Structure 1
Amino acid sequence: MNNSQNTLYIFVDEAGDMDFSSKGSKHYMFNFLVKNRPFNLHEKIANYRYELLERNLYNQDSTRLDLESFHAHKDNKYIKQKFFEIISSFDEKSVKAYSYILEKPKVNPSKRKVKEHFYINNLSYSIQRLLDILNIDTNFIIITDRLPIAKNRSKQIGALKKGIKGYIRQRGLDIRYDIFHHCSASSANLQIVDYISWAIFRKYEHGDDSYYDKIKTYILDEELMTKDTEVNHYER
């Protein structure tokens, strides 16, 4: 029996850094891409990458392009424009995004003292916020990029799974889930959520919504979790 249509996929990307000083980013956020199979446009994304590789054969005078995957921070503006053109053509009903945003100076120092705890606690809570918004009642699979903090990796994963299991149990849901941590090159969806995340981050961090405007139609919610906090614990 094929249950692909009934399984929800959630892809996760984080933006910002964990430098809680005036030298760090102003925001830290988790951004999510929500989709069901079949995953449309993946062949178009793959073909675009191969097209870029083939240009090396004919443009001998230009810099050789060795593109294993798409990454918004690294890709040049021409690649960005084309990639956003592709992902902005998704069916709005089949693709959704969610953003969980923290203004870093407002984060209580006790909540960020241990970086791996800060990361996992906020990732776990942001997933639960998204599941609430979705009124989840079906099996789901979460795929993140490799965890950014290598220290105590198994404990981080254990804490994350414990939080999700507790959420499902507390709500009496008869559903199953799984979570994987893959490199972004393995999944077009991780590359798509990277681009969506980059666009949202630029809106908040730099006041640039030019790329955000291309994907905003997919956004379920942008939750600025610190908006009601008045205290800044350092200047930024």
Structure 2
Amino acid sequence: MPSLAPTLYIFLDEGGNFDFSPGGSRNFTLTCVSLYRPFTLHTALDTFKYDLMEHRVSPRIAMEYFHCAKDNRHIRTRVLDMLAAAVPPRSVDAVIVTKNKTGPALQAAEKFYPRMLGYLLRYAVTNAPGGVGEVIVITDSIPINRKRKAIEKAVKITLANMLPEGTPYRIMHHASRSHYGLQIADYFNWVIYRKWERDDDSAYAMVASQIRSEFEIFRTGTRLYY
């Protein structure tokens, strides 16, 4: 018999890079937005997108999608205002990794990414306010390279071990421009990453009530090796 509990959709985005040398980013952030249907914000974002197209405000041809780092200040402020008004409070969680505290054995992307993702999703699912019948995780498309299959396999194994027992889940990879959920996650991750990487919380303050947790993996200063 199918579960009566709702499906929890988790949209993911990341900030920083996998370069653990001094030339890489100081932090790596992994942010998720947990939402249940109906997605009421999508209509407002769609209306705003077409307004920008008609008034030629956007610098990008046809205003194909929202991208926080590329959007101008006018667009960014308007979208953040909509997120603050329509995204339920405490729907956003993030894992913050100070990269120079990461042990060498964990620095390979196929080990690092699944482990951090597992911590994040376990917390998000465990603390979901409306119950969970199934978890559908949607990420941006993973670039096609030799590590893609290894990362995807490791993610599935890690989630099977870290999610609450008996929780069914699926992982999907969609282009961010095709889904407002991923664009929303991009905005939240941008403000969180900017807060930690550049000590700038001006945009973060606009949506602070939507952010439930920012877990700093190495807050005690102890390296995680495996």
| Same fold at TM > 0.5 | yes
The Cα offsets for residues 31-72 of structure 1, whole Å up to 9 and x where unpaired, read as 01001000012111011111111123xx8xx96743211001
How far did residue 167 of structure 1 move?
Answer: 3.4
Aligned: 1:28 with 2:28: yes
Q: Which residue of 1 aligns with 2:120?
A: 126
1:5·1:36 contact (CA, 8 Å) conserved in 2? Answer: no
Compared CA separation, residues 86 and 5, structure 1 to 2 (3 A): farther
Q: Which protein is bigger by CA-based radius of gyration?
A: 1
1:5·1:38 contact (CA, 8 Å) conserved in 2? Answer: no
Q: Which residue of 2 aligns with 1:83?
A: 79
Secondary structure of the equivalent of 2:71? Answer: coil
Detail structure 1 runs of 4+ shifted over 6 Å in the superposition: 1-5
* TM-score, normalization by structure 1: 0.84
Aligned: 1:11 with 2:3: no
Compared CA separation, residues 229 and 148, structure 1 to 2 (3 A): farther
The Cα offsets for residues 102-153 of structure 1, whole Å up to 9 and x where unpaired, read as 00111112210x2233223322332223333438643111101112573232
2:27·2:97 contact (CA, 8 Å) conserved in 1? Answer: yes
Aligned mates of 1:2, 1:66 — CA distance in 2? 42
The Cα offsets for residues 145-166 of structure 1, whole Å up to 9 and x where unpaired, read as 1125732322322221122223
Compared CA separation, residues 148 and 98, structure 1 to 2 (3 A): farther
Q: Which residue of 1 aligns with 2:201?
A: 209
Aligned mates of 2:40, 2:217 — CA distance in 1? 32
Note the aligned Cα RMSD (angstroms). 2.6
Letter in 1 for 2:161: G
Q: Matched residue pairs, number?
A: 222
Pick aligned residue for 1:218 from 206, 210, 225: 210
2:135·2:169 contact (CA, 8 Å) conserved in 1? Answer: yes
Letter in 2 for 1:100: V
2:7·2:132 contact (CA, 8 Å) conserved in 1? Answer: no
* TM-score, normalization by structure 2: 0.87
Secondary structure of the equivalent of 1:134? Answer: coil
Secondary structure of the equivalent of 1:8? Answer: strand
Unaligned segments of structure 2, at least 5 residues: none
